[in-house]
Structure 1
Amino acid sequence: MNLSIIIPLLNEAESLPELHNWIVKVMTQNNYSYEVIFIDDGSTDSSWAVIQGLASQNPAVKGIRFMRNYGKSQALHAGFARAEGDVIITMDADLQDSPDEIPELYEMVTTGGLDLVSGWKKKRYDSVVFKNTPSKLFNWAARKTSGVTLHDFNCGLKAYKNIVVKNIEVSGEMHRYIPVLAKNAGFSKIGEKVVIHQARKYGTSKFGMSRFINGLLDLITIWFLSRFGKRPMHFFGALGVLMFLIGFASAAYIGISKLFKLYSHEKAMLVTDNPWFYIALATMIIGTQMFLAGFLGEIILRTKNNEERYKISETL
């Protein structure tokens, strides 16, 4: 099979028939063998009924329905697990991503030798204040932190080799950083393509300003995981030992000062009146806690089990 097209969605019943027909047109024109996997992430409208109708008309249409809303990352994880195509395309269901981009994305992966191609919405039809400007700042921070030089990490339109999606773990809200996850997994051939961004035709956006705050927190998380995810003791243990040594040196300074003053018959202040006492106490406690955090992290890492992150109520 040439292509698996994965489309996560939430309350997009109006756009699904048009998107499906557009995809079928592109697939037919290019003579691709394909499957379209819709992942209904807990929609409360008639999205699942629409998907069922499309599946009854077109055997290439498949569906996964979550019992409730789990988030885009979980939807992509479920789609990646089911995808069988040589090349995987992900796109949003709101008609802002154009299926006409798929053939060129497919060629960039198959003949261009790329592991992953990310779309770049160079010209956007979003609010400048609430989406464009925060998005530029977010993408700049992501480039500087991850070392992956993409202009638009959050673009939903991407193409992957099958082997890439089968070897990355998308969890939490990490769908924004799939290129970074792929790079960390050893897939370094990452490209970018300018894609058409269209104004939303139906419904309203499901994302608010909170996604940029969450995106920043996720960026910090992925930075930490990429460097210390397999060895938390190297981070917490090193900081813990450093803090403990600072505290120990402060305590030693207090003790030596006290002895010198006693030897010289000078009146020495109470230990608790010396500010270095509190510095020593605080840093030694913090150092011990950080060391224990690293130790516990190592234990959890070696004993963790893969937990089910979402529940599926129906499949097609």
Structure 2
Amino acid sequence: MDISVVIPLLNEQDSLTELHDWIAGVMQKHQFSYEIIFIDDGSKDESWNIITLLSTQNNSVKGIRFLRNFGKSQALHAGFEKAEGDVIITMDADLQDNPDEIPDLYNMITKDGFDLVSGWKKKRYDSVIAKNIPSKLFNWAARKTSGVKLNDFNCGLKAYKKEVVKNIDVNGEMHRYIPVLSKNAGFSNIGEKVVQHQARKYGETKFGMDRFIHGFLDLITIWFLSRFGKRPMHLFGALGFIMFAIGFAFAIYLGIDKLFLDRAGRLITQRPQFYIALSTMIIGTQFFVAGFLGEIILRNRPDKKRYLIKDELNLN
């Protein structure tokens, strides 16, 4: 199979039929063998019924339905597990991603040799204040932190080699950072393509200030995981050593001062340096313990399913 199109969605009943017809038309025009995998992330509208109907009309349509809303990362993970195409295309279900971009993205993977190609919505039709400015700030921070030179990390339109999606673990809210996860896994040939951004035709945007804040928190998380995810003791041990050394140095100073220099006969507990020494040594010890616990958890981490599927369509 040439292409798997993976589409996570939440309450997008108005756009699904039009999106399916558009994708199917592109595939037929370019004679691609394909599958479309819709992942219904707990929709409360008629989205699943529409997907069911589409699957009866087109055997290439497949569906996954979560028991409740587990998040876009979990939806993508479920789609990646089931995808069988040589190239996997992800896109949003709101018609703001243009299916006409699929052939060029496919060629960049198969002919130009990229492991991953990320779309760049250079010209956007979103609110400047509500989304464009926060997005630019977020992308700047992501580039500086991760070292991956992309202009639009959050674009849903991306193309991947099959080997990439089968070897990365998309969890939590890390779908924004799949290029970083791919780079950390060893797939460093990452490209970017300017893609057409469509104005939203149906419904309302699900982007809010909470997603903007969560994005930066996730950025800190992925920076930590990429640097210290497999060696937490390297971070916490270093911090613990520094803090303990500071406290120990104050303790030695207090001891020498008390024995040889202090003529006033003050109690050590009356001096602020005593509390600095005590606090920093305790904090240093806690950092050491955190590092040890992190190493233990890492080595004994169970594999746990992060979502529950209610129904599937046309999937083995």
Letter in 1 for 2:90: T
- Give 1:306's match in structure 2, choosing from 299, 303, 306: 303
- Bigger CA drift: 153-162 or 196-205? 196-205
How big is each residue's C-alpha offset from its partner over 1:135-192, in whole Å with a ceiling of 9 and x where there is no partner? Answer: 0000000000000000000000000000000000000000000000000000010000
* Cα-Cα RMSD: 0.6
How big is each residue's C-alpha offset from its partner over 1:260-300, in whole Å with a ceiling of 9 and x where there is no partner? Answer: 136xxx22211111111011011001000000000000000
**Matched residues in 2 for 1:295 and 1:248: separation?**
21
Aligned pairs (5 A) from 1:279-290? 279-290=276-287
Aligned pairs (5 A) from 1:27-176? 27-176=27-176
- Bigger CA drift: 204-213 or 114-123? 204-213
- Bigger CA drift: 55-64 or 207-216? 207-216
How big is each residue's C-alpha offset from its partner over 1:201-246, in whole Å with a ceiling of 9 and x where there is no partner? Answer: 0011122111111010100100010010000001001110111111
**Matched residues in 1 for 2:275 and 2:53: separation?**
70
**Shift of residue 131 of structure 1?**
0.2
Residue 271 of structure 2 corresponds to residue 274 of structure 1:
yes
**Matched residues in 1 for 2:204 and 2:89: separation?**
23
**Matched residues in 1 for 2:55 and 2:207: separation?**
28
**Counterpart position of 2:215:** 215
8 Å Cα contact 1:261-1:268 kept in structure 2: no
**Matched residues in 1 for 2:245 and 2:217: separation?**
30
Structure 1: which 5+ residue stretches go unaligned?
none
- Give 1:295's match in structure 2, choosing from 288, 292, 295: 292
- Bigger CA drift: 206-215 or 114-123? 206-215
**Counterpart position of 1:183:** 183
**Shift of residue 54 of structure 1?**
0.1
**Matched residues in 2 for 1:299 and 1:276: separation?**
35
Letter in 1 for 2:161: K
Percent pairwise identity = 73
**Matched residues in 2 for 1:123 and 1:267: separation?**
73
Q: TM-score, normalised by structure 2?
A: 0.98
**Matched residues in 1 for 2:223 and 2:156: separation?**
21
**Matched residues in 2 for 1:195 and 1:47: separation?**
26
**Shift of residue 3 of structure 1?**
0.2
Letter in 2 for 1:31: Q
Stretches (4+) displaced over 6 A: none
Describe the SS at the equivalent of 2:25: helix
Structure 2: which 5+ residue stretches go unaligned?
none
**Counterpart position of 1:240:** 240
**Matched residues in 2 for 1:269 and 1:214: separation?**
51
How big is each residue's C-alpha offset from its partner over 1:86-132, in whole Å with a ceiling of 9 and x where there is no partner? Answer: 00000000000000000000000000000000000000000100100
**Matched residues in 2 for 1:45 and 1:200: separation?**
18
Letter in 1 for 2:292: F
**Matched residues in 2 for 1:121 and 1:207: separation?**
16
**Matched residues in 2 for 1:267 and 1:10: separation?**
73
Describe the SS at the equivalent of 2:37: strand
